[in-house]
Structure 1
Amino acid sequence: MASATATARAEAGGREPDEEPQRRPLFRFGGSRLGGFILVLNLLSLLILFGGALAINEWRPGLIEARQESLTVQAELLANVLREEGVTRGEPTPELDPIRASIWLTDRFIPAGQRVRLYDVNGLLLVDSYQVTEAIGGRPLPDAKPAGAATEDAAKANLLSERRVARADSELAAEVAAALDGSPQSTLRRNESGDRVVSVSIPVRHVRQVLGVLTVESGDVDEILGAQRQALFPFALVALGVNLLGSLLLHLFVARPIMRLSAAADQVKLQRARAISLPDLEDRKDEIGDLARSLESMTDTLSTRMDAIERFAADVSHEIKNPLTSIRSALETLPLVKTDAHREKLTALLQQDVRRLDRLITDISNASRLDAELSRDRPRPVDLNRLLVDIVGVYETTAKPGDIPVVLTAPEQALRVMGRDGPLGQVFRNLIDNARSFSPAGGVVRVTLEDIGDDLPIRVRVEDQGPGIPAENLETVFERFYTSRPKGAVFGSNSGLGLSIVRQIVEAHGGRVHAENKAEGGARFEIVFPAVGRWS
């Protein structure tokens, strides 16, 4: 059983009565500093990738548009050259001269990597730069396969090639047809080889009449896209670095501290330490720091309780040993007694020691169960008027001749406290029994319940007419096994645990108890409780 002070702290949630709960900063994400830290790291890497993608997406249309504008200017220059070279003529009727066009359209006019085609007014191909050029185009052959390796199905490959060519011809024909309507066309399409090309088609005119279409295409789109991918690569590297850094920080600031806390808890479990103490973690202002402080507080409380249990066990052993020693001495002496008077005296001493031992064991049992009872029962409003009337009524109905009477003074209105009626009843019974044991014959024990309207407004007083308490013992009477009694009092009638239990229960209910001496003589025990709604 823990001491009264330690138990009060435990019941109050591990806080001192005047200690304010720690306030969390409002800027934490969902109340969690670590949660915000993890969110920021993840968002940062995503923002880097998103920003890079946006930059590339804005750059890519700019590159394609710039290439299309360049090809449009080049196509217009070639169309002007066609007119100047006499490829277009107007007599007797406006038409294109395919022979002059073939002579003119040689590779000395066409930059490397580009293809120029000339179509007549019906969309029929007249000249293709790939056909009149002296250069032979192509692409590197794939690496030779080892002997016995499986080869691709030729029929399937031819079918795919035919489909690819048909699709390319269809897209090109649509572009040429649109240009024959008199408006220049700019597209991004695939050629017969499946490569992406930037294509520009402009109408070739004689004065105002459209005589054909000049198409210029460039196959460096993949190079443009490759440049875009290379531009995105630094963003990906930075995002990867941020993720790696975030993972490292999470390991250093989350995983490793939790591992240390786990190892410290294992040390406590293996009884190599009584409490967890990690000052560097406890100084942190996040959830790890909260966890470290909570574990330290918990283990400190457990250590304090363990110390209290050890001291309690030592005190119990000492207190039980005294009556047992007396009983053993009386039993050893009893066979040697010759007279009946001496035998009756020893028998009375044995009975007194047995009663003392029984009372001591009962109080020890009650004290050991107190923590469990306080933690098991949920607080609820308790009417102290009715509780005290019932308790005093029991003393009145069970009173024997010569017993000290108990008088109750209470207001008519109900005074309620938040608590547990069982432990509160034990408080009042212990105080009344203690007062009756010290009261002289003919004395009266008075119990007063009143509302004093203070911070702890409900006050209960238990007064006797006995010899009072020495001034130096007004506080020590609440210690365990305190049994100092005035001269003439019966030895062994108290276990010394009653007032200790009283303080423990009162403080667990948010109240206070103290002892004082009355001016007219006798002792007074005063308890103050918070009213309903003010106890926590």
Structure 2
Amino acid sequence: MASDTDTARPDPGRLSSWFSWLPGSRLGRLIIVLNLLGLTILIAGALVLNELRRGLVNARIDSLTTQGELMATIIDQAATVGEPLPAMDGAYASQILQLLSNPRTQRARLFDSKGRLIADSYWVADRVEWKVLPPARARDDAPGFSLQLNQARKPPAPQSGVQKALAFEVTQALDGKHWSGMRKGDDGERVVSVSIPIQHVQAVLGVLTLEASDVDEIIARERVALIPFILIAIGVTLASSLLLNNLIAQPVRRLARAADRVRLSRARSISLPDIAKRDDELGDLTRSLQDMTHVLSERMDAIERFAADVAHEIKNPLTSLRSAVETLELVKDPVAQARLMNILQQDVTRLDRLVTDISNASRLDAELSREDPKAFDLGHLIGEVVQLYQDTGKPGDPTVAYAAPDALEPIMVSGREGPLGQVFRNLVDNARSFSPPGGQVRVSLERGKGEATIAVDDDGPGIPPDNLETVFERFYTSRPKGAAFGGNSGLGLSIARQIVAAQGGTIHAENRTGADGVVQGARFTVVLPEARR
């Protein structure tokens, strides 16, 4: 992942530290906070206005209840007649209702003890209820007298839901209960209504109903009041969307275009320093892409150098072959012809060795990436490599000895066993090629602090001090006198260093000297990290 890279990170931003308690990544937390902010504002406004609406309705009910109790008390005291069976004087009660009610803001209705309507503030105020009539019919289409008689004989229409609600409210009050709440009015609008029984001692003389029809106006005003919250929420959402577009969409598009430039215009690397400075996943991604393209650029340069070196190394034996072939036709001396044939054979052998080693070197990266690292016993691997040389050695060839570690526990390393075996074979082959006939190559393994050290010693002439690093370069060869021509390509030590570096280790060369300071041979040391237990 990008967050696991070793690229440098800026100091954490203030916004990320504020919301570090949220789950997820930094950009994920930012997206969550910004998208929820507008919704939170809208929900908070709706909750506040709902509480306000409940408060207004409750206050309206309280106001109507106070007015109704006062009016019911006055009607009880002034319009009650008859002893010992009290009754309400309907005419006088209607006059009192006319004096006390305010028909412009509310409606007051008075019912007798049987639930019959005896007074209405709309009557007192001469309020006319109107509605749009259907279009008039033509004279020929007018219904006849018999149809009118039939309609007159029809039973009365059943009560509507509004009338049933009012009747239920009045019935509750006639039972001596105070009723309050919201219901539909005659025009279909919502009204706040209270019904209060008019009682004289225990007798219910009638019911006073007060209605306020301004509830819809209150709700409409509340909805208008909600508009600023909605606009704020929309603004915050748009702002957060633009911010996310600038923080995420645009940088991702720039990264895509930079990658396209690398692909189309053959650029060697991605360079977006302003995005790379960011302390989030996009910054990690940019730094990782920059590092990746830089590594790829270095790999391309290495491939170009390798191709140039290969062309140069192959050109030498080919030139020699062409010269020997051209000369062979002109030479008639059998001895000279045999010498030229020997040169041709050596050049062919050299070309074959070069092609084989070049093929192995070109497949090395693919082989290293194809096999997953795993822990294995390093001592067992080295023992198998040494045993192979001991079993296949010929008389007079340098012998190979192995000094196994004394530790009871095996030395475990994490890596790729096949390529590491090739490293030790290359080192032993190199040591044998420099050792004199009858000499010895010694391989040792030791455990250090969290690492394993492998040393390969020979009894050869050593390495010139100036070439201790040069020997690991590609196609570098420095053979002693008498060594077979074309038997080495100069790629063995270069391949060994490449494999060891891929395993996270190091390799270096040095000369072994005696007490008198005389060089006694060369030593190649490989250091590998031990596997974690």
Q: TM-score range by the shorter chain?
A: 0.7 to 0.9
Q: Distance in 1 between matches of 2:134 and 2:466?
A: 105
2:218 matched residue in structure 1: 224
2:51 matched residue in structure 1: 58
Amino acid at match of 1:38: I
Q: Does 1:419 align with 2:426?
A: no
* Structure having greater relative contact order (Cα 8 Å, sep ≥ 6): 1
Amino acid at match of 1:231: A
Alpha-carbon shift at residue 138 of structure 1 (Å): 4.2
Alpha-carbon shift at residue 14 of structure 1 (Å): 7.2
Alpha-carbon shift at residue 133 of structure 1 (Å): 3.0
Q: Distance in 2 between matches of 1:310 and 1:502?
A: 20
The 5 A counterparts of 1:280-295 are 280-295=274-289
2:307 matched residue in structure 1: 313
Alpha-carbon shift at residue 233 of structure 1 (Å): 1.6
Of 483, 501, 504, 2:498 maps to 504
- Give the TM-score, by structure 1 length: 0.87
2:438 matched residue in structure 1: 442
Q: Would the alpha carbon gap of residues 15 and 203 (structure 1) be closer, same or farther in structure 2, given more than 3 Å must change? A: closer
Q: Distance in 1 between matches of 2:171 and 2:81?
A: 22
Of 120, 129, 134, 2:126 maps to 134
Q: Distance in 1 between matches of 2:178 and 2:363?
A: 97
1:530 matched residue in structure 2: 529
**Are the aligned partners of 1:438 and 1:467 in contact in 2 as well (CA < 8 Å)?**
yes
Q: Distance in 1 between matches of 2:96 and 2:432?
A: 133
Deviations 1:139-195 (A, max 9, x none): 7x6999xxxxxxxxxxxxxxxxx77x6211211122112222333221211122211
Of 141, 161, 171, 2:165 maps to 171
Q: Distance in 1 between matches of 2:354 and 2:383?
A: 28
**Are the aligned partners of 2:103 and 2:121 in contact in 1 as well (CA < 8 Å)?**
no
The 5 A counterparts of 1:51-450 are 51-83=44-76, 86-91=78-83, 93-106=85-98, 109-138=101-130, 166-207=160-201, 209-411=203-405, 413=408, 414-450=410-446
Farther off after superposition, 106-115 or 41-50: 106-115
Deviations 1:104-153 (A, max 9, x none): 443884230421111112222211222343232447x6999xxxxxxxxx
3-state DSSP of counterpart to 1:216: strand
Amino acid at match of 1:39: I
Q: Would the alpha carbon gap of residues 53 and 307 (structure 1) be closer, same or farther in structure 2, given more than 3 Å must change? A: same
Of 48, 71, 82, 2:41 maps to 48
2:142 matched residue in structure 1: none
Q: Would the alpha carbon gap of residues 14 and 185 (structure 1) be closer, same or farther in structure 2, given more than 3 Å must change? A: closer
2:151 matched residue in structure 1: none
**Are the aligned partners of 2:184 and 2:191 in contact in 1 as well (CA < 8 Å)?**
yes
Alpha-carbon shift at residue 400 of structure 1 (Å): 2.6
3-state DSSP of counterpart to 1:187: strand
Q: Would the alpha carbon gap of residues 401 and 250 (structure 1) be closer, same or farther in structure 2, given more than 3 Å must change? A: same
1:516 matched residue in structure 2: 510
3-state DSSP of counterpart to 2:329: helix
Amino acid at match of 1:349: I
Instruction: Please tell me the root mean square deviation across aligned C-alpha atoms, in Å.
Output: 2.7
Structure 1 stretches of 4+ moved >6 Å: 22-26
3-state DSSP of counterpart to 1:112: coil
Farther off after superposition, 207-216 or 486-495: 486-495
Alpha-carbon shift at residue 380 of structure 1 (Å): 2.3
Q: Distance in 2 between matches of 1:179 and 1:106?
A: 21
Q: Distance in 2 between matches of 1:65 and 1:213?
A: 21
Q: How many residues align?
A: 498
Deviations 1:289-333 (A, max 9, x none): 111111111111111111111111011000111111111111111
3-state DSSP of counterpart to 2:509: strand
Of 32, 36, 39, 2:29 maps to 36
3-state DSSP of counterpart to 2:479: coil
**Are the aligned partners of 1:107 and 1:134 in contact in 2 as well (CA < 8 Å)?**
no
Amino acid at match of 2:526: I
- Give the TM-score, by structure 2 length: 0.87
Q: Would the alpha carbon gap of residues 133 and 29 (structure 1) be closer, same or farther in structure 2, given more than 3 Å must change? A: closer
Q: Distance in 2 between matches of 1:252 and 1:397?
A: 69
Q: Distance in 2 between matches of 1:352 and 1:14?
A: 50
Seq. identity, %: 56
Q: Distance in 2 between matches of 1:468 and 1:306?
A: 34
